[in-house]
Every structure is written in structure tokens, then in C-alpha cells.
Structure 1
Amino acid sequence: MKQILIILFSALMSLKTVGQIKDIITPEIITNPLHQANIGRITFMASNIPLNVYKKEDFLSTFELSHKSSLNVRVFMANSVTNYLHQLAPELSLEELVKSGNLQFSFFVDGNLIYKENIHHGCNFGSSVNKNTATTFRVPLTSTTGEDWWAMYMWDRFKVNGGEKALSEGKHYLKIELRPYLKLNDSDLRVGEMIAKGEVELLIKSPVITKEQIAVQAIAPNSGWEVSKDRYDTQKIEALNTAIAKYELKQITSIVVIKDNKLLLEEYFNDANRNTLHDPRSAGKSFASTMMGIAIKDGYINNENQPLKNFYDLKKYANYADNKSEVTIKNLLTMSSAFEGSDSDGDSPGNEENMYPTDNWVKFTLDLPMNNHKKNGAQWDYFTAGVVLLGDILNKSVPESLEKYSDQKLFKPLNITQYQWQYTPQKVVNTAGSLQMRAIDYAKYAQLYKNKGKWKGKQIIPTDWVAKTLTKQIQIPERENEHYGYLFWNKTYSIEGKNYEVFYCAGNGGNEFLIFKDLPLVIIITGKAYNKPYAHPQVDKIVKEYLLPAILF
């Protein structure tokens, strides 16, 4: 008994000591009556309601959740995030605290812990919210207004990691708990006491599906393609359409299938139609490879082994190095240059997110240092800025501009008239991506490669360039049996013991243009699931579980 009392006394003294730790920074004064009355509470709301007009009547107790709803939370705390972190490690400076921790979100469904995430230290709570001093914040979990928040990606991860299954049709109770955390090293993770919690009843209803949504969509006239008369398993396509309509496959906008150079399937979803110009993001990079092959054929560029020193006076840029001058066009086409640039590493100097805010993307790229641990041509690392250089080299080398050259040499021969480029700050077409077109026109582009560069009897892209492009030029690290060509990806689908190899263009959102090596097939899938973890996995699911079984039945 005496031992138990000693333990309890020590625990109480410990709590008292923690409570006596002074704040490291003065938090904002809580003057809002609603905040004062709800300290320690997470409240739910159906839209972004500003704090100054937010009322208790706006607190949600019940909410019907669908993919077309906006579910927000507003958190009322007694102190700022940074001061809560300070309680966990009083010895750290303000800067060290901010770089070492943030909030831990725990998601419960019907009383069961489903998912827990320590959000990145860099996550903030809006442009006007300073986590050093703020004691309340709002984040969207779902949104229909085009918001782009880390909280929405966290919600997606919650759903992928059990939330989707737990939130089955019917009534469920969602509870969220917040705690501060600090990660000082791999073995020292400190999590504080709960600082806020909240609960809402969610009503999950399956969307009403119509016969029109399920039915295979008829191909309208004037597609520019001969329509295929080949048979396919319509039940598989109806099952695919049902999954898209039920939002089991999310934010798909189009599916086009070309078989034996004829249009077999053409379907549109989520308010898209034949004339929709889709934004396939980085799938547009492949056009830089195409135009490079055409420019080499026309003699404006000698070959892909030409180094950067042939196009730029590199000593005028920062961080000059001999291996920078020896970077070749091929290194940029295969994402294998030794630039200190990696889009998969948020801390990389050459990460694309560091490039976009600058006023000269070419200068940004050529100013980058070189990575002494890389050797040109030896290691694949996704590097968008390098593709911008390719666009600039082309624009400098071909007559008039890359935009006009592409129109004359590629788009007009394919009878592609509806398209929209994005531009760099120097008004050069942006070869980093987002070349918007109709889905059936992307199909022409992909079929051109299937035809070894020929379209209606005319050689558009040199045959040898197509062969080099659709060759496994370099292994993609940490991806089994996946390779990269000249700005084209490569993978193999395995279905019931059979392998189907494809080269393809790929872009954020689940956009893929697939060219099958040993099947007479080209498949275009476009989507708007930008930055979603399910974007590309669901494309693989569409191909493996629906399209190939339907076509090869």
C-alpha cells in the first residue's frame, strides 16, 4: 500500500512539474466566447465557416458523408502547438521544437482506433495561422471547393488504412483525438497528453446508380477513328462503370481503348465528355521526348548524346562543374543526370516545388549544384527540372518556337486541333507537363508509338527513335521489374500467370497512356485524383481486373 501511495505521489508531482513549465512563446489571448466555452474540443462543420461568425449551432452532431461533401474540423486548444511541444522537451529551442514535432491525429470509428498519424513538422494550419501562437485552427478533411491541404491527404491515408472499410454503409461514430508529439531521433518519440477531442455521427449512404451510368457508353460519330467491331465482355465493362459510379474507383474522367488501330471503347465520367481537355500532368513530359526525336531527324539537333555545354555557357551559372557540362540530352531523357535534383526528396535543392516559384526555371536548373554521389547516366532519379531544360534546348534549336514546331510536325499530321499548353515564365511551352488534350487525341499520340512512328502512311517519328524510346534504358530503383525509356515508363502486368509488358506515359492524378508491347492495344485513362495515394494503383486495378479480362476473354 505504501509503495502504491509513493507511486501516486510521484505521478502527481510530475504532473505539477509539467504544469509549472513556462511557455516558450506567448500564445494569442483567447477572447472569443465560443473558443473559451469549448477549450479542448474538436468541432465538426459542413464548410469553411470563419471563426468570427462560427456559432454553436454550426457544430455538427450528425453529417451525411459522401464524395461530394465538405467535412471540416475546427480545433479549440488552451495553448499553442509549440508550447505543447515545449512541455515535452523544455531543453529545446523554439526552432528545434518547430522542426522536430507537431500534432498527432488519432482516428476512431465506433470506438475502435483505426489510424494514427504524426503530421509532418512542416504542416501548418492556414496562411493566417501561426502554430507558435495560435490556439485554434481549421482544416478540411474533405472538400468540394478545390482546396489542397495536407489534412485531406491524411484523411485519404486514414481511409486507405482501414477507414474505408470501417465506414461502411450505415451509421458510424467518428472520433478524433489530438496530442502533441516530438521525434528527436529514431528511438526518441515523445507523445503528450490529449489536448483536444471531438466526435460526430456519420451517415454513409451508397450513391444511387442509374442504368445509364452502368451501361457501356455508345461511341458517338465523328471520333476521327474507325470503330472496332470486335467483341468484348460487356459485363466486365458494366462492372467497371458501376465501380466508377459508386466512387469505388475515384475521379476517373475517361477511358479509351484502341484495338488493332480501331476505337473499341470510349467512355467518360464525372462530368467529362469527348471535348474535355484533360490535364494529365507529367504524362505531358513524354511529348518532349517525341519532339526531340523529330528535331534530331530534321537536323536541328545532332543526337541525344550532345552535352549541355553545346547549348549553354555553363560558367555563367552558379556551381559550375565539369560533370555539369557533360550532362547529355540522353541523361535528361532517362532521368539519370548527376544534378542535385530529385522530385521524390522534399529536401532536394532541385525538387520541382523549389523551381515553380522562381522567375526563370532554366536558370534555376542550370544553377543547381551537382551530386558527387551520382554519375551521369548511372542512376535514375525523377527530375522535372531536367525536362524543362529539354524544352528550352528544343525551343532554341528549332525554327520559330517549340510551340509552332510541335503544331506543324506532330499535331497537324495527327489532326489534333484542340489542345492547350502551359508555359514557363519565359513564355516557352512547359515540357514539364500539363499538355491538355482530348482523350481520343491522346490515343492518337499513343497509337503513333504503337505504329512505330507512322500515321496514315506518313512517318512522323523516326522508327529508330521510337525503338530507343520504348527500350528499357534504366532500372527504376526500389521498383521490381520497372524501367524507364526516353521519358516513357515501363512495367509488366501479371494476370493469371501471363505477363503483359507496357510502355506508358504517366502523370499525377492517375493519368496513364498505355502502349502494350505484345498486344494490339492502346489504353488511355485520365483522372483528377491529384496527389491521392490511390491514383495510380486504381489505374492498375482498372487494367488488370476489368479492361484486359474484358478484351481478352
Structure 2
Amino acid sequence: MKSNYLFILITCLLLSCKNSGQSKSSNTSSNEIENLFFSTVDFTKAKISSEAYSKNFDLHNDNFLSIAFTLDKPLIKSLQELAPSLSEEELLSKGNFQFSYLIDGKLIYVENLNTGAGPKTRKTEMLKQVVPLVAPERIGFWGWYMWQRFMKVNGGLDAFTEGNHTLSIAIKPYLKDGTLKVGPLLAKGNIAVKVPKIYIDENLVPVQKIQPNSGWEIAKDNFDNNKIEALNRKIAEGRFEDINSIVVIKDGKLLIEEYFNDATRDSLHNPRSVGKSFASTILGIAIKDEFIKDENTLLKDFYDLKSYKNYSAKKDSVTLKSLLTMSSGFLGNDWDNDSPGTEDKMQSTDNWVKFTLDLPMHKDKIIGKDYNYFTAGSNLLGDIIHKSVPNGLVSYGDKKLFAPLGITEYKWFHTPQNVAYTGGGIELRAIDFAKYGQLYKNKGLWNGKQILTKEWVEKSLAKQVSQDYGGIKGMHYGYLFWNRVYTVNDKDYEVSFCTGNGGNKIFIFKDIPFVIVITASAYNKPGSHANVDKMMIDYILPAIIEKQ
């Protein structure tokens, strides 16, 4: 959907600034003079001056927080001291401020601020610096995103336990020119932070009993109730935002089924880009049924590419496989707002297929190898399926996929040409998303019927293209499926999964007998994916693995 790019951008911002520059050297001694000050006034209405400085911050009840500090000299001068031989332009492209966050004297997070953050004048001229950190709504300022990274992704929220704490922020210059160089302290300050007790409805904590008529056989296996109840408490407290459902399948049987925030078994969930994987599934069925030859079929076999803008011979080499693996070479990247081929730009037109085929090719990208997150390409696959199968994509998908799985309640979103939107536009019940995941766990087999070939499932979940996504361990991309590794108690678990804006997931584990569905509606909220990772690593996987 149109908000997918914003979510992806936020996610990339959250992950990209997580830096190996974290070190104990970022701690500051207690006898240093404090020259960084905090304010809880509304910075959207008032300038931050010494009269507005605050000594206390209520984490749950104060809507605003900002910091102010005054440098002895512009940042560029401190960067020059780290690398005297570099030009001003080189220094600005390689360095910025380093922020260290400490809670009760313990280093929690260090961020080497992205070199593109802040205007040039902030680094070359300004001495007095004011950085907004907290606001009731998202603001377009790097300080807000940095605070979100600190709190939601890098441990701040969990370190601020109920009670009273001291938050310290220390600022230094850094330069990354081959190696990381960190200069002397520029500013440091403390503020007392109060974390009030969160009161919840205790009825939300116990593990929810699975109700009859789920369509699944109920598993009799044990799991760690205490872990799941601890997770339920965190969800009730809002630590994990906008979680709507958790479904765990073990050995093809329903082990856990829980709903939150007014969701029920009958709720249809909008998992955004999880829907991309369904394009891969239905394409695999169409190949099995011989309506499409195979994934190596060329794009030019479906469209007269020369009749579209920006034709080049390179475009003739685009295959369905390269669209499945997001390595088609089109000049489209949803993670780059300046890219001409983002989902938002596509959805602002009245013909999404034409928009995509009109795009130029990237001159340096290698088709089938170089990854770019390209929603428009996923939508193109839906159009190809639609024009290749009997009665169109929706009818064919219902007959060949949903009906055999016993799925009757679902909803497609559609393109302006009334074709099912395979860029991320399908809603199902959580227990039906679990059926979809179990189909892949079963190597394409369901109730004795081979819906997908085993070979297609294996290729779909395989590590087709390497994918550097925030340094996450083992990250690869298959046929519109992701692949990564979770580490729990020092043991690695490989998993293929569908993922979508807001924290939506379908996990299909390789070597353990689990399919896990999490639906959420934390759309475009920083940390939504990090929240799911923490839920999996700290709660769900330990609860079900240790009881095997």
C-alpha cells in the first residue's frame, strides 16, 4: 500500500544507524562539567532557552523532550582534528556527532549519527544546538528517529523499568575513514526520569484457551505457559505495540492461538507486504499447471517492451525469476525515496503496470544478482499471472489455492485495472495465514493433494539472493520470501518468512516443526519489526522449543 515505503524507510533508518562504534570509551566520568541540558516544553511552540530547561522527565506523561548544548567551536573543527588532511567536503561525508545514551550510568546505546543527518550549517557554523527527541506524533527530524532507535530497538525501553532513573547523554565527534575515530567529549548532561507503574487488566495475562471449530487439530504438546503469560503482559502494557494475533502450529497441529486489541478469530488482518508471497505461490501453481512455462520465462514474452518508455536491450533480459527475487535491475527501490520506481510513485498513477514497464533499467545492477526492494515488480507478476491463467488471478487463486486449503474468508485489494494487487494487498484470518505457512512446511502438500510442487517450495524458500538488511544474521531472499537465522540460547534456527509493514509475519522454520503467525497493525511505527524479533527470541521460541 502507499504507506509501505514510509514504513520501509523508517525501518532502514532504525537499523542502519546501529553501529559497531559502541564501546566503553563512550562512558564519561562523573566529575565532568555538564553542559548539555534537557527540556520538556513543547518545542513546536516555544524556543528552547535556559528558562525552559528541566531536571525531571516523566516517561509516560511528558509529551516532549529535547536537548540543548553549546559547542566551543563548530563540529567541522572537531572533525578536522581527527583527520587534518581531509577536505571539508570529505569530513562532512565521513563524520558527524556520536551520541551515547546511559541509564543509571550504564551504557545502553551508541549512535554514530548518519552523515546526512542535519544541514551543512549545523556542522560548519552553528554553536548552539537544539535537538528534539520526543513528541506525541512522529516529526521529520533526525533526533526523533534517533530516540526511537534508542528506545525501541536498542534497549532503552527495557532499561527504563518502573521507578526512578538517571538518563545521561554524551556527545562526541566521530569520523569513519577506514577506521572509526572518536574525538573528545563535546557535551554531556543528565536528567532524572520517572517511570510510572503501568496498570493493566490482569484478565489479559493468562494463556488464552483455544476455542472449538478452528479447523485445526489441537496439539497436546506442552509449552512454557509462564513465558507466554509474560509476553501477554508485555502486550497488555503496550511494550509490544498493536499486536493483534499470535498463532503457533507444531507438527501440523494448533498449539497456541491468541488475540489482542479487540481482534478475534474471525478478524481479517491486513499484513501488507506479506501478500507479495502469495504472488510467488500462485505463479508456482500456474507453472505446475503449464499456463506459464517456468520462472526463467522472459518479461518480453508478456509485454511489447519496445512500446514503453526507456526501452533498452537490458530490459529484454528481465526474467520472472528476477522479479521473484527482486533482482530485476529496474530503476526502482522502495528503500530510496529518490528512486523513480517506488511504490508511492507507482500508486500515484492510474496504470501501475505501465508505470513499471516505463521505468529505465539501472545501468550498474546485474539482473538476477543485485537486490533492490521493488514492490512494482511484485505487482507486475500479478498482472502476468492474471493474463495467463483461466478467468484471471482471483478466480484461479481461489480454485487452486484457497479452496483446497479450506479458506473462504479473505479479501484482495485491487489495482486501477481491477487486478488483484500482489504488491501487498490481501487479508486473511490469522489461522488461515497459518494454513498458508503450513502448506510450505508440508513441501506443498495439503490433505494428500500436491498444491505446489516440492521443487517450487524449495526454490521459493532457498537463499536465492544475498540481502544485507541491517546486519541481520543470515539474511537472504528467495521467491518473494525472506530467509534469516534466529539465535536462541546460543543455538541457531534457520527460518523462511513472509513479512509486512506493521510487524506482520508468517514464519516457516526449517529444522524445527513450527509455523508461527504474528499479525500486527503498528503500521509505519519505528521498531515494529524489532518488537517481533524480541517477541520471538525472548518469549515465543524459548516457550515452545524448550518443551519439545
TM-score, normalization: structure 1? 0.71
Residue matched to 2:476 = 483
Q: Which residue of 1 aligns with 2:433?
A: 442
Instruction: Tell me the equivalent position of 1:393.
Output: 384
Task: Find out whether 1:254 has 2:256 as its counterpart.
Answer: no
Matched, 1:141 2:134: yes
Which residue number in structure 2 is paired with residue 212 of structure 1?
A: 203
In structure 2, the gaps of 5 or more residues are 1-35, 80-91, 120-127
Q: 2:162 aligns with which of 166, 169, 172?
A: 169
Relative to structure 1, the CA distance from residue 301 to residue 166 in structure 2 (aligned partners, 3 Å threshold; closer, same or farther) is closer
- Given that 2:496 and 2:509 are in contact with CA atoms closer than 8 Å, whether structure 1 keeps it comes out as yes
The answer to whether 1:423 aligns with 2:414 is yes
Query: Could you tell me whether the CA contact under 8 Å between 2:224 and 2:544 is conserved in 1?
Result: no
- 1:300 aligned onto 2:300: no
Q: Of 269, 273, 278, which residue of structure 2 is paired with 1:278?
A: 269
Distance 1:146 1:404 in 2: 41
Matched, 1:504 2:497: yes
Q: What is the Cα deviation at residue 308 of structure 1?
A: 0.9
Aligned partner of 1:268 in structure 2 is 259
The aligned amino acid for 1:285 is: K
Shift of 1:198: 10
Structure 1 match to 2:22: none
Aligned counterpart for 1:534 among listed residues 522, 530, 533: 530
Cα drift, residue 328 of structure 1: 0.6
Shift of residue 515, structure 1, vs aligned partner: 1.7
Query: C-alpha displacement at 1:298, in angstroms?
Result: 3.4
Matched, 1:72 2:64: yes
Task: Give the drift of 1:356.
Answer: 4.2
Shift in Å, 1:387: 0.8
Corresponding residue to 1:374 among 343, 365, 368 = 365
CA offsets per residue over residues 186-237 of structure 1, 9 Å max, x none?
999999x999x99975420242355433321101122222222223332333
- Note closer, same or farther for the CA distance 1:494–1:154 as it changes in structure 2 (3 Å cut): closer
Q: What amino acid is the match of 2:533?
A: P
- For residues 319-349 of structure 1, the C-alpha deviation after alignment (integer angstroms, 9 at most, x for no partner) is 2122211211111112222223334445544
SS class of match (2:505): strand
Alpha-carbon deviation of 1:462? Answer: 3.6
Contact 2:223 2:543 in 1 (8 A): no
Match of 1:157 in 2: 149
* Two-structure CA RMSD over aligned residues (Å): 4.9
Partner Cα separation in structure 1 for residue 417 and residue 54 of structure 2: 49
Instruction: Tell me how far apart the structure 2 counterparts of residues 103 and 493 of structure 1 sit (CA, whole Å).
Output: 32
Per the alignment, residue 394 of structure 2 pairs with: 403
Deviation at 1:305, TM superposition (A): 1.5
Which is bigger in relative contact order (C-alpha 8 A, separation at least 6)?
2
Q: Using the TM superposition, give the Cα deviation of residue 183 of structure 1 relative to its aligned residue in structure 2, in angstroms.
A: 9.7
DSSP 3-state at the match of 2:378 = helix
Label 1:391 to 1:290 Cα distance change in 2 as closer, same or farther (>3 A). Answer: same
1:455 equivalent in structure 2: 446
Residue 109 of structure 1: how far off its partner (Å):
6.0
Change (3 A) 1:356 1:122: farther
CA contact (8 A) 2:68 2:131 kept: no
Partners of 2:176 and 2:483 lie apart in 1 by: 40
Q: Does 1:518 align with 2:511?
A: yes
* Paired position in structure 2 for 1:548: 545
Q: Structure 1 residues 545 and 259 mapped into 2: Cα distance closer, same or farther (>3 Å)?
A: closer
Q: Which amino acid aligns with 2:466?
A: Q
Distance, in Å, in 1 between the alignment partners of 2:318 and 2:256 is 43
Q: How big is each residue's C-alpha offset from its partner over 1:72-126, in whole Å with a ceiling of 9 and x where there is no partner? A: 3589999xxxxx999999xxxxxxxx9999999886767999767687688799x
> How many residues in Structure 1 have an aligned counterpart in Structure 2?
499
Share of identical aligned residues, percent?
47
- 1:227 aligned residue: 218
Cross-structure match for 1:473: 464
Which residue pairs with 1:24 in the alignment?
A: none
1:255 alignment partner, SS class: strand
Partner residue in 2 for 1:94: none
Structure 1: stretches of 5+ with no match in the other structure: 1-39, 79-83, 90-97, 126-134
CA separation in 2, counterparts of 1:184 and 1:354? Answer: 34
Equivalent AA in structure 1 for residue 432 of structure 2? D
1:453·1:462 contact (CA, 8 Å) conserved in 2?
A: yes
Rounded to whole Å, the distance in 2 between the matches of 1:210 and 1:334 is 45
Shift of 1:293: 1.4
Give the TM-score normalised by the residue count of structure 2: 0.72
Counterpart of 2:33 in structure 1 is none
Q: Deviations over 1:511-544 (max 9, x none)?
A: 2212223333211122344442624532541444
Of the two, which has the highest radius of gyration?
1
Secondary structure of the equivalent of 1:429?
coil
Contact 2:131 2:143 in 1 (8 A): no
Per the alignment, residue 324 of structure 2 pairs with 333
Instruction: Compute the displacement of 1:289 (Å).
Output: 0.3
Cα 1:182/1:446, change in 2 over 3 Å? closer
Please give the secondary structure, in 2, of the residue aligned with 1:413: helix
Cα pair distance change 1:123/1:365, threshold 3 Å: farther
Could you tell me how far 1:381 is from its partner in structure 2? 3.5
Q: How far apart are the structure 1 equivalents of 2:250 and 2:337?
A: 41
Contact 1:493/1:544, CA 8 A, preserved across alignment: no
More divergent stretch after superposition (417-426 vs 439-448): 417-426
CA contact (8 A) 2:325 2:465 kept: yes
- 3-state DSSP of counterpart to 1:501: strand
